[in-house]
Amino acid sequence: RENFTLLTGLQARKLNFDAGKRCTGVDVVDGAFGRTTTLHAAREVILSAGAIDSPKLLMLSGIGPAEHLESVGVEVLLDAPGVGEHLQDHPEGVIQWEAKQPMVETSTQWWEIGIFTPTVQGLDRPDLMFHYGSVPFDMHTLRQGYPTGENTFCLTPNVTHAKSRGTVRLRSCDFRDKPKVDPRYFTDVQGHDARVMIAGIRKAREIIGQPAMAGWAGVEQFPGQGVQSDAEIFDYLKRTHNTVYHPAGSVRMGAVEDVMSPLDPQLRVKGVSGLRVADASVMPELVTVNPNLTVMMIGERCAELIRGS
C-alpha cells in the first residue's frame, strides 16, 4: 500500500513531547547498529505495543505513577497512576489423563475444542473456559514431579473473568531492560478465581467420567485421584497454573474523570495530546474469549476515531 511503510529491526526507546505536551514522535534504536533515530508524527502517534510493552513505553516516556517513575530515574512528564495497573489475564490450570487408545500424532491444530460453561447459576456470561488438548501439556507439572506420557490428553480450565489484578513496572530507566510483570494470580480478596479454577478441575473430571469416555480415559496423571478436597486441588493449582498469554487492561480506557483510567473513551492518553493507544491494554475488562479478534476490532475502531477527529 502506498500509505504504509513497515520498518523492521527497530526498538522504541521513548515517546517525544513538545513544551505543550503534544506527542511529536518516537525515538527508535536500530538493533543491528545501535543508532537512535527519531520518527516524527505528521498528525498523531498510535501506540500498539501490547499490554506489557505499551505501559512500559509510556512509563519510559514519563507517563505513569510519579513515585514509581522517580524511583527508577525517569523524569515525570505526567503523573498517571493507572498506567501499568489493572493487568488482567485468563489464568489456567491443567488436568491430564493417559489415553487408552492412540491419539492423533499429526495435526495442524492440537487444541481443536473449547468449552464455555458457568460454575454457578444466574450468570450472564460463562465464568469458566476449557481448552482440550490431544497432547501432553506438562511444562509446569514435570518440574513438580508429576508423571506424564506420550499418549495423553488434557483439559485446561481457565478463569474467563478473573478478579485478580496485576501490575507492569519498569525495572530501570533503560529501555533495553524487560519490565517487571506481576500478574498476582489468585490474589482477589473474594477468592473468586480460586473457586472457579477448583470448579473447573471438578467439571473436567465430571466430563471425562461420562460413559462415552470409558474407552478413552486411563489413569489421571495430574493432579491425580488422590487430590480431592478443595484445599488439595488449590494447592496443586497454585504450583502448576500458567498463563494463556492474554494480558490486557494495563492502560485501560474509561471515563474522563477516572484518574485510574489513563485513556479517555476515544483511546487518547489523558493529560497529553497527539497520542492514542490501540491494543489489548485498553480493555477495561478482559473479554470472555481469546482476545485476538477483539484486539483487531480495537484497531479498526481506533482508525474510525482518527478519521472522525
Instruction: State the DSSP H helix or E strand holding residue 305, giving kind and residue range, or none if neither.
Output: helix 292-308
For the chain, the straight-line distance linking the first and the last C-alpha, in angstroms and rounded, comes to 23
Residue 91: count other Cβ atoms within 10 Å of its Cβ: 23
Q: Give the per-residue pLDDT at 82.
A: 99
Cβ atoms of 87 and 247 within 8 Å: the answer is yes
Q: Pull the grid cell for residue 36.
A: 537512535
Residue 241 a catalytic site member: no
Domains, the chain, with CATH or none: 10-87+248-308 (3.50.50.60), 91-165+182-243 (3.30.410.40)
From 86, 90, 161, 246, the catalytic residue: 246
In the chain (309 residues long), the average pLDDT of successive 10-residue segments reads 91 98 98 91 97 99 99 99 99 98 84 92 96 93 95 97 98 97 98 98 98 97 98 98 97 98 99 99 97 98 95
Alpha-carbon distance of 152 to 211, in angstroms, equals 18
